[in-house]
Amino acid sequence: MNKNDLKLRIETVFNNFINAIQQHADINKKRADGGWSVGQIGNHILKGTVTNLGSTKKTERPYDKNADAIKALFLDFGKKFSTAPDIEPDEKQYTKEDLIVSLRESQEEIFQMIDKEDLTETCVDWELPEWGNLTKYECVILYENHIIRHTKQAIDFN
């Protein structure tokens, strides 16, 4: 695992998402179909990139076993997902400036996690239906591909 490459990829997806946000004059306007506003998409990303992942244990499988499956699922733009309640966006008014500051802070927290933590450890306090307990590395891959998915949503917003 190349941590510098991982950080570069995270930086790229955050930059692309922020650029997508900046293309919108009104980030609080709801989609024509009633879907989330661009501001809400940003809030959802923030809630989905929390780096306090709880207790961990030594991983007893390849640390990246689920990485390709995570990428494939999130980049299947034909699939629709229901949102976990804990990352449902808040119904409120957003400003681009505050959202961008918060996104940069989230990016920095992920950088700190990449730099300082053992990404091969398995998170044991929670699990996902599809894959069970993820490693911290797989969490970073999930963050990356989740942001890519929602960047497309922000770009294609109507």
Q: Which of 48, 41, 47, 44 is nearest to 23 (CA)?
A: 41
Q: Which of 27, 8, 28 is nearest to 18 (CA)?
A: 27
β 122-123/56-57 pair status: antiparallel
Q: How many CA atoms lie within 13 A of 35 on its CB side?
A: 16
Q: How many CA atoms lie within 13 A of 69 on its CB side?
A: 10
Query: Mean of the pLDDT values across residues 140-145?
Result: 97
Q: Which of 46, 60, 30 is nearest to 121 (CA)?
A: 60
pLDDT band at 68 (very low <50, low <70, confident <90, very high): very high
pTM for the whole structure: 0.94
| Dihedral, CA of residue 136, residue 139, residue 143 and residue 148, to nearest 10 | 120
Give 90-94 contacts, CB < 8 A, sequence gap 24+: 90/40, 90/43, 91/40, 93/28, 93/39, 94/27, 94/28, 94/37, 94/39, 94/40, 94/42, 94/43
**Residue 128, pLDDT score:** 87
pLDDT digits (tens, 9 = 90+) for 30-57: 988 888 999 999 999 999 999 999 999 9
Concatenating the DSSP letter of every residue in 61-79 gives S-TTTTHHHHHHHHT-TT-
Which tops the pLDDT comparison, 31 or 66?
66
pLDDT digits (tens, 9 = 90+) for 88-123: 999 999 999 999 999 999 999 999 999 999 999 999
**Residue 81, pLDDT score:** 86
